Amino acid sequence: MPKNTEITRLTPHGSMDILSRLEVSQLKQGSHDDSLYDTFRRCALAVLNVDSHTDDAREVLRQHQDFQIRVVQQERGVKLEIENAPQSAFVDGKIITGIQEQLFAVLRDISYVKNKITSNQIFDTRTSEGISNVVFHILRNARILIPEVEPDLVVCWGGHSISREEYDYCKKVGYQLGLRRLNICTGCGPGAMKGPMKGAAIGHSKQRIRRGRYVGLTEPGIITAESPNPIVNELVILPDIEKRLEAFVRAGHGIIVFPGGVGTAEEVLYLLGILLNPENRGIPFPLILTGPAGSEEYFKQIDAFIKLTLGEQARQHYTIIIDDQVKVAQEMCAGLEAVRNFRREHADAYYFNWILNIDHQFQLPFVPSHENVAALDLSLDQPLHLLAANLRRAFSAIVAGNVKADGIAQIEQQGPFKIRAEPVIMESLDALLQSFVQQQRMKVPGNIYTPSYALQTQ
């Protein structure tokens, strides 16, 4: 892959505060915390590696092992120096402005979490309230939370590796949302995360909306495999997948799910687990599953799995719409109106869903090790929202084994993760995962998928 071998110097661009000398020193290679520099380097490389066609994080790092990035302290602020960056981030030798903004968003978030969150005793991550407070402060620091604006942020979930027909459909849905003056939030990567933003940008342009919002939420473990697309104009790096998922449901007002794979199923289970919590009964949160003609089988398998594991109650929380982008947008607008009325009635903020109760089990970071995966309780003899939490963790482990560098290394060293479940759950889970493999939703189409998991009867 072509590289820009010259040293490029960049000044802050976007929502970036100045850094202290201490903060700069922490982000230097060879500092006391090399892991912080490594995280910064990997996230920065992901931003620069735009339009990458590989979802193997280790392969990306191998291809760009000579990539360097340095934070340079100056009296008037900071600069970034980058060397051997992917050529795709440049146009005629100059870095694309949107990518420059994203680079400084990476710097902002990694520095903020290190110096304002992890070292601050006011953030008690042992409690549910404390974790939600962390998510709030990270989003506020990134200027994602805008007061006095009525609910208009639609979260779009879906796969980073989808067919052309599915991608075009995502764009059409985004276009209809943009025409209705709605803004878009996604996982910031390619595929179903890029399509809605691209479509919405055209809709916004027709409505003469000059500052459409294209919010991208990611985390260090996944960003290398799913590089942010350049349309994202508000990028946030959350510390882990759990805080990323909470940020989606706290800041977003409704969710549209496009075809995807294991990661998309993980996200759906996360949200359904929250909505199934008895404490959240009656809280409106529009959830639409949609795709073009030909994607019926994908949603049929998802729906069947949810029915078998979480029951009819879970199915009441979502609507499936096939090949009708206008209806999707209209249904979402109606759902957002219900959200607006509910929050106004209960004096809840439009910009952050404080009332929604997120159980601590959904917030605790899950480390996908062989021991932790084998210990998951995948039985029907537990509250539905807790079963959803454990199913979400099982899917999270498969995602890690598929695309995350640490997960891939574990699979190579110790073999596939062993997921134990009751026979009825195991059979349905196996059918769902096999359908993902057959539809080539585990890896970029054309690759042979080697399972990162093995199912066993509990």
Instruction: Determine the Cα–Cα distance for residues 125 and 128; give it in Å rounded to an integer.
Output: 7
What's the number of CA atoms in the CB half-sphere (13 Å) around residue 101? Answer: 17
* Model pLDDT for residues 52-69, shown as the tens digit of each residue: 666 666 777 788 888 888
CATH topology of domain 3-120: MCP/YpsA-like (3.30.1850)
| Chain CA centroid to CA 290, Å | 18
The pLDDT assigned to 76 comes to 66
Q: What are phi and psi of 280, to 5 degrees?
A: -100, 10
Q: Which of the pair, 389 or 72, is modelled with greater confidence?
A: 389
For the chain, give every domain's residue range: 3-120, 147-358, 361-457
State which of 202-216, 219-233, 364-378 shows the largest mean pLDDT.
202-216
Instruction: Determine the Cα–Cα distance for residues 255 and 154; give it in Å rounded to an integer.
Output: 6
Q: Confirm if 174 and 145 have CB atoms less than 8 A apart.
A: no
* Model pLDDT for residues 397-427, shown as the tens digit of each residue: 988 888 777 888 899 899 999 999 889 888 8
User: Does the pLDDT at position 15 exceed 70?
Assistant: no
> 424: closest CA among 267, 269, 305?
305
pLDDT band at 32 (very low <50, low <70, confident <90, very high): low
CATH number of 147-358: 3.40.50.450
Q: What is the mean pLDDT of the chain?
A: 89
Residues facing residue 241 across a β-bridge: none
